[in-house]
């Protein structure tokens, strides 16, 4: 294979005006010279065009651009390559009933990238002697535990893409829900139900338990016994990160891949500031209870669940709520869940009385509203993004960490409609009309976060790669990073990009980002 373009370059396609098509399976609206299905055209599809333009701006197979031979992913895909396309499929609905595509990757972006993977596999098959296309393509993610996978496929139209490929080519594109545990929320309260959990097959190839040990970003962190992950069973979550162990339950489909294509959504996130390529890697982990989200308690008491400064009564109320969660919801017993609802309602009634008589203030502040680690002082969640990035790039097919990279990486961020404010599940939709593409997860995230208006280099999930602990990613110097925009003749640097930033409203706990 020819040398890859420099990892210091990130391309932004779409001219900040791209829009989504509304008809699955999301054909391009223009017959491009390289189109694998030239007769398959659909309604206006700015997302497809933005992906294509981002690949051009990256300089991928630049010599053949504009001809039928253009094969931008040919430098990443070989004959027989196993390719994983990982969208952000976090939930089957927007938590506030707003645009679903402000929280999940639109399938039009997935379809465009898939077509270029197919072009590359076809070209590799011809170069190998002209036989059938060999390899494997998987569209895979581990959504939130209470996401309805069937509803997600139907509402987004993602399910139509493999059907089109099967009917047109006979090739099976896999759609994989990588979760091995799913559940649902209580219909009355909306609270996640511990008794409505069930196991499922998840990844058909299974999982590898990978212990990072001293290589983990948690290795020097006190208070790992306070870790809270994605389920009520804190004992299980902490046990994966105590005694020198720092374990993750990683999809073998991901570990067996030769090329991993990250397809995140451009949006804010309460726990880490932004969720792009790095935070999106939570989706390669099949059991969310291995994935630390925060440590319980206030920041001045050994945790990072919420800021210091909470008044004593509210602090005691949160401690009491935690006891109820640990003793009742974690049990998985429906009777104890009903008792939890009763006691929580009583606690809320007492709170209303205390506010009415003036013992508690009615005024809501960031300090009183922040919970669940959704603030800039969260010193836990960014460490998980570091660990999963190391696993993705350096764990071999057996889950053993190696010094050299084990698979190639391509990141394509869907920013056609983004999410700002209280992401990841309740963001305000933000039409941005662009797609970001590049070959290094941290570099792409740095560029995207800069355009979002954050002090991107100060975000802990990115800043770690400037330290000895994160040096394995070899993040290039800030001055070396360049961004290709369609309207600019020459690449620009981060300072010039920051001057053109389109500031996003940050999450409540990140007002000074």
Instruction: Render pLDDT for 420-467 as a digit per residue (tens, 0 to 9).
Output: 999 999 999 999 999 999 999 999 999 999 999 999 999 999 999 988
Which residue range forms the structural domain that includes residue 27? Answer: 9-140+205-293+380-510
Return mean pLDDT, the chain: 92
Q: Is residue 213 part of a domain?
A: yes
How high is the pLDDT of residue 3? 53
Q: Is residue 118 part of a domain?
A: yes
Q: Which long-range contacts (CB under 8 A, 24 or more apart) does 469-474 make?
A: 469/217, 469/386, 470/217, 470/386, 472/390, 472/394, 473/389, 473/390, 473/393, 473/440, 473/442
- pLDDT exceeding 70 applies to what percent of the chain? 95
Q: Into how many domains does the chain fold? A: 1
More confident residue, 363 or 34: 34
Calculate mean pLDDT across residues 340-348: 78
Per-residue pLDDT tens for 34-76?
999 999 999 999 999 999 999 999 999 999 999 999 999 999 9
Per-residue pLDDT tens for 283-329?
999 999 999 999 999 999 999 999 988 878 778 888 888 888 888 87
Q: Is residue 29 part of a domain?
A: yes
Neighbours of 64 (CB within 10 A): 15
How high is the pLDDT of residue 368? 72
Report the sign of the C-alpha dihedral through residues 436, 441, 446, 452, in that order. positive
Q: Is residue 169 part of a domain?
A: no
pTM for this entry: 0.94
How high is the pLDDT of residue 513? 75
Q: Is residue 104 part of a domain?
A: yes
Please report which helix (H) or strand (E) contains residue 286, including its range: none
Nearest to 325 by CA among 162, 192, 484, 141: 192
Q: Any residues with CB less than 8 A from the CB of 72 and at least 6 apart, and which?
A: 55, 56, 58, 60, 61, 116, 120
Q: Is residue 366 part of a domain?
A: no
Please tell me the least confidently modeled range out of 106-120, 222-236, 239-253, 288-302.
222-236
How high is the pLDDT of residue 250? 98
Q: Is residue 300 part of a domain?
A: no
- Enter the tokens of residue 154: 């139907």
How high is the pLDDT of residue 192? 59
Q: Is residue 327 part of a domain?
A: no
For residues 212 and 387, the answer to whether their CB atoms sit within 8 Å is: yes
Q: Classify strands 181-182 and 198-199 as parallel, antiparallel or unpaired.
A: antiparallel
């Amino acid at each position: 294979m020819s040398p890859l373009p420099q990892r210091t370059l990130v391309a932004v396609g779409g001219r900040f005006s791209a829009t989504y098509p509304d008809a699955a399976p999301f054909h391009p609206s223009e017959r491009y010279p390289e189109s694998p299905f030239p007769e398959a055209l659909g309604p206006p599809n700015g997302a497809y065009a933005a992906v294509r333009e981002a690949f051009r701006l990256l300089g991928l197979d630049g010599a053949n651009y504009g001809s039928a031979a253009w094969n931008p992913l040919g430098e990443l895909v070989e004959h027989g390559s196993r390719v994983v396309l990982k969208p952000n499929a976090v939930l089957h609905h927007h938590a506030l009933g707003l645009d679903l595509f402000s929280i999940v990757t639109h399938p039009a972006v997935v379809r465009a990238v898939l077509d270029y993977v197919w072009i590359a596999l076809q070209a590799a098959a011809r170069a190998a002697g002209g036989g059938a296309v060999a390899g494997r393509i998987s569209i895979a993610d581990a959504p939130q535990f209470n996401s309805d996978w069937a509803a997600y496929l139907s509402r987004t139209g993602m399910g139509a893409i493999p059907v089109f490929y099967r009917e047109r080519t006979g090739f099976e594109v896999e759609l994989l829900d990588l979760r091995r545990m799913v559940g649902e929320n209580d219909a009355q309260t909306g609270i996640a139900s511990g008794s409505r959990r069930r196991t499922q097959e998840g990844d058909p190839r299974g999982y590898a338990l990978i212990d990072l040990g001293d290589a983990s970003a948690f290795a020097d962190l006190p208070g790992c016994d306070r870790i809270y992950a994605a389920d009520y069973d804190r004992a299980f979550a902490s046990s994966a990160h105590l005694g020198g162990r720092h374990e993750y339950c990683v999809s073998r489909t991901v570990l067996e891949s030769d090329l991993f294509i990250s397809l995140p959504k451009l949006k804010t996130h309460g726990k880490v500031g932004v969720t792009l390529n790095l935070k999106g890697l939570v989706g390669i982990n099949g059991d969310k209870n291995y994935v630390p989200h925060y440590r319980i308690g206030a920041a001045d008491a050994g945790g990072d669940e919420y800021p210091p400064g909470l008044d004593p009564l509210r602090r005691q109320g949160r401690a009491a709520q935690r006891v109820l969660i640990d003793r009742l919801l974690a049990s998985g017993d429906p009777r104890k869940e009903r008792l939890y609802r009763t006691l929580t309602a009583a606690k809320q009634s007492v709170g209303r009385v205390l506010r009415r008589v003036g013992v508690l203030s009615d005024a809501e502040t960031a300090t009183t509203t922040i919970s669940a680690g959704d603030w800039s002082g969260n010193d836990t969640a960014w460490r998980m993004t570091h660990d999963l990035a190391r696993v993705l790039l350096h764990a071999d097919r057996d889950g053993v960490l190696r010094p050299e990279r084990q698979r190639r990486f391509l990141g394509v961020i869907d920013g056609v409609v983004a999410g700002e404010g209280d992401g990841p599940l309740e963001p305000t939709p933000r039409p941005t009309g662009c797609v970001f593409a590049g070959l290094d997860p941290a570099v792409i995230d740095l560029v995207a976060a800069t355009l979002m208006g954050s002090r991107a280099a100060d975000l802990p999930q990115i800043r770690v790669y400037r330290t000895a602990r994160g040096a394995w990613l070899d993040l290039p110097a800030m001055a070396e990073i360049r961004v290709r925009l369609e309207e600019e003749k020459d690449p620009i640097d981060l300072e010039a990009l920051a001057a053109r930033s389109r500031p996003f409203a940050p999450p409540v706990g990140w007002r000074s980002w």
